[in-house]
């Protein structure tokens, strides 16, 4: 039996593997990667490496075995439902013991969620024991973009006065690890979010407090924001999606704080202020 993590070298996957290494022997962990070199550090610590590609179903032959627990980390490319189905089909053929999937909040009404909802349907139709981890927004979605904020002294979003109950990637990784290593999680869907919701005005104030600079929040219209992103050479479909998420935030769809994530991981979630501090330290 192995705990298998797809997309292991990614931003979320690497945190999951690191935290699994603190709980289970390394030879019980399998990291699924497209490029073996990106998993060299894991291999050096005894993690098993499987090379497979969501776009090539044949590469998943033999990756899973009966009794495995699998974390399917959602892809970020076009046709990702088809990609996810490749993994789910392979897991079904192997007869894995649990399939966990990183989805999006059920409250979010955006084109972003369409692929997640479709994938959830495939997961349920597979008949496999499953855990759906509906991750809300990550602190790092914003703190990894501090350079332009500091350069221009402004946080520019189309989120109005909406609030975001985000958490750090390490928090969502801990939830995945809890589901993969604990008991009683099969056939559960978890709506996960941070303990505290914050507004972009508060976010700007916190950056200003930590840097000693004047940082203002400038709310703009959704259409203006979309055009701005396109002007920054973001592909139009992606710009529309990002602007749409801001619109959803303005409508209160990402401000829920239900305490499920902190209960699952056994500690408070990471405040946005802590993630800002970590980003500023580099």
Same domain, yes or no: 213 and 229:
yes
Query: What is the pLDDT at residue 161?
Result: 97
To the question of pTM greater than 0.85 for the whole model, the response is yes
Query: What is the pLDDT at residue 112?
Result: 65
Same domain, yes or no: 114 and 27:
yes
CA distance 165 to 271: 9
Same domain, yes or no: 150 and 113:
no
Query: What is the pLDDT at residue 111?
Result: 64
Query: What is the pLDDT at residue 166?
Result: 98
- Over the chain (282 residues), the average pLDDT of each successive run of 10 is 94 97 97 93 96 94 96 84 95 98 86 85 97 96 95 96 98 98 97 98 98 97 94 89 92 95 98 98 87
Same domain, yes or no: 20 and 109:
yes
Same domain, yes or no: 77 and 145:
no
Query: What is the pLDDT at residue 1?
Result: 81
Query: What is the pLDDT at residue 267?
Result: 98
Among 120, 135, 150, residue at a domain's last position:
135
Q: How many domains does the chain have?
A: 2
Is residue 262 a part of any domain in this protein?
Answer: no
Query: What is the pLDDT at residue 282?
Result: 81
Same domain, yes or no: 12 and 123:
yes
Contact indicator for 131, 186 with CB cutoff of 8 Å: yes
Same domain, yes or no: 144 and 278:
yes
Same domain, yes or no: 72 and 115:
yes
Same domain, yes or no: 109 and 157:
no
Query: What is the pLDDT at residue 79?
Result: 79
Q: Which of 190, 193, 188, 173 is nearest to 3 (CA)?
A: 173
Residue with tokens 């303990």: 195
Same domain, yes or no: 110 and 156:
no
Query: The domain spanning residue 210 has which CATH number?
Result: 3.90.25.10
How do residues 57-71 score in pLDDT, each as one tens digit?
999 999 999 999 999
Contact indicator for 212, 281 with CB cutoff of 8 Å: no
Is residue 184 a part of any domain in this protein?
Answer: no
| Residue span of the structural domain in which 251 resides | 137-167+193-255+270-282
Same domain, yes or no: 198 and 89:
no
Helix, strand, coil percentages (3-state) for the chain, rounded to 5, are 45, 20, 35
Same domain, yes or no: 37 and 90:
yes
Query: The domain spanning residue 37 has which CATH number?
Result: 3.40.50.720
């Amino acid at each position: 039996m192995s705990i298998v993590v797809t997309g292991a070298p990614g931003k979320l996957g690497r945190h999951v593997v690191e935290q699994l290494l603190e709980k289970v022997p390394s030879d019980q962990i399998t990291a699924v990667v497209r490029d073996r070199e990106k998993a060299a550090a894991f291999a050096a610590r005894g993690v098993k490496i499987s090379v497979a590609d969501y776009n090539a179903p044949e590469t998943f032959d033999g990756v899973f075995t009966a009794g495995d627990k699998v974390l399917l980390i959602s892809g970020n490319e076009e046709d990702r439902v088809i990609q996810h189905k490749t993994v789910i089909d392979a897991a079904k053929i192997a007869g894995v013991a649990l399939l966990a999937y990183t989805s999006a909040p059920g409250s979010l009404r955006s084109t972003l969620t369409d692929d997640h909802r479709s994938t959830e349907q495939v997961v349920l139709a597979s008949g496999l024991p499953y855990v759906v981890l509906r991750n809300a927004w990550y602190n790092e979605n914003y703190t990894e973009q501090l350079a332009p904020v500091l350069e221009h002294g402004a946080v520019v979003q189309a989120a109005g006065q909406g609030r975001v109950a985000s958490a750090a990637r390490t928090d969502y990784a801990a939830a995945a690890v809890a589901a993969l290593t604990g008991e009683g999680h099969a056939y559960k869907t978890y709506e996960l979010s941070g303990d505290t919701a914050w507004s972009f005005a508060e976010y700007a104030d916190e950056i200003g407090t930590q840097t000693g600079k004047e940082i203002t929040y400038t709310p703009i219209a959704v259409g203006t924001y979309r055009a701005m992103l396109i002007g920054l050479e973001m592909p139009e479909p992606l710009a529309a999606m990002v602007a749409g998420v801001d619109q959803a935030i303005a409508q209160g769809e990402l401000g829920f704080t239900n305490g499920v994530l902190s209960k699952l991981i056994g500690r408070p979630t990471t405040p946005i202020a802590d993630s800002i501090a970590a980003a500023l330290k580099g």
